[in-house]
Structure 1
Amino acid sequence: MTILNRGVQTVVLSGVFIKELVMSSVAVAQQVIGDSSALKPAILAVPVGLRSRAGITTLANCVSLTPGTTSLHVSEDLSTLYVHVLDAPDPDAVVQSIKDTFETRIKEIEG
């Protein structure tokens, strides 16, 4: 992958992150203002298919900087990221969302 392509993919990841940041901020604000008894917090294991420590760190940072989610731990073999989620009515959908929004774009940057 050329440096130009990596730069373009980085801009795409940044745009996706900003979109997720805004959407998550609104969702968390609604949850705080509304009935928080309906929340289903969870700790989820997200399988990671990234090749580099930098990629995994970027994924963990994207997750932690998005309101409503916090990265807790990366497994010793770097294959799993553990994430605390404020509301996970469908845990599989949350895991897939993290993989679809952030991980796939980070993979493109890794080349």
Structure 2
Amino acid sequence: MSRPRPWNLLAWLWLAALFLRELLLSAAAVMRATLSPRLELRPGIVAVPLRLRSAAGVTLLAHMVTLTPGTTALHVSRDRKVMYVHAMDAADPDAVRASIAERLEAPAMRVLP
């Protein structure tokens, strides 16, 4: 992982583009699920370990999780090591954790520690 670059405008634009992509993919998945004649969702709360350590980084991630359809950040532990996330479909908690880590947290780590 490269060093965070909080003052690099291109890094922020890249993060915005990745987040927009994730937003559209998640919105499509939520639409498919809600328009499906049979809802086979297993909502749940998932503990997501965090690699981000700064207050700004964790706050950015929590906002991105909450703005992404189908997920809501509920709580961050005092030591900023775990974020509790409500997922619309948490049938596979490990997949939820991996998705947040790879698709949201890793790009956020490029701009904030």
**Structure 2 runs not aligned, ≥5 long:** none
Q: Which residue of 1 aligns with 2:22?
A: 20
**Shift in Å, 1:73:** 0.3
Q: Which residue of 2 aligns with 1:39?
A: 41
Q: Does residue 72 of structure 1 match 2:74? A: yes
Any runs of at least 4 consecutive aligned residues in structure 1 with deviations exceeding 3 A, and if so which?
none
User: What are the Cα deviations for residues 35-78 of structure 1, in whole angstroms up to 9, with x where unaligned?
Assistant: 12x10111000101112101000000000000000000000111
Describe how 1:1-111 pairs up with structure 2 within 5 A. Answer: 1=5, 3=7, 6-34=8-36, 35-36=38-39, 38-110=40-112
Helix, strand or coil for the counterpart of 1:14?
helix
Q: CA, structure 1 residues 95+108, in 2 after alignment: closer, same or farther (shift >3 Å)?
A: same
Q: How many aligned positions are there?
A: 108
Give the alignment's TM-score, normalised by structure 1: 0.91
User: What are the Cα deviations for residues 16-47 of structure 1, in whole angstroms up to 9, with x where unaligned?
Assistant: 111111111111011111112x1011100010
**Shift in Å, 1:105:** 1.3
Helix, strand or coil for the counterpart of 2:12?
helix
Give the alignment's TM-score, normalised by structure 2: 0.89
Structure 2: which amino acid aligns with 1:47?
A: P
**Shift in Å, 1:2:** 7.5
Aligned-residue RMSD, C-alpha: 1.4
**Structure 1 runs not aligned, ≥5 long:** none
User: Comparing both structures, which one devotes a greater share of its residues to helix?
Assistant: 1
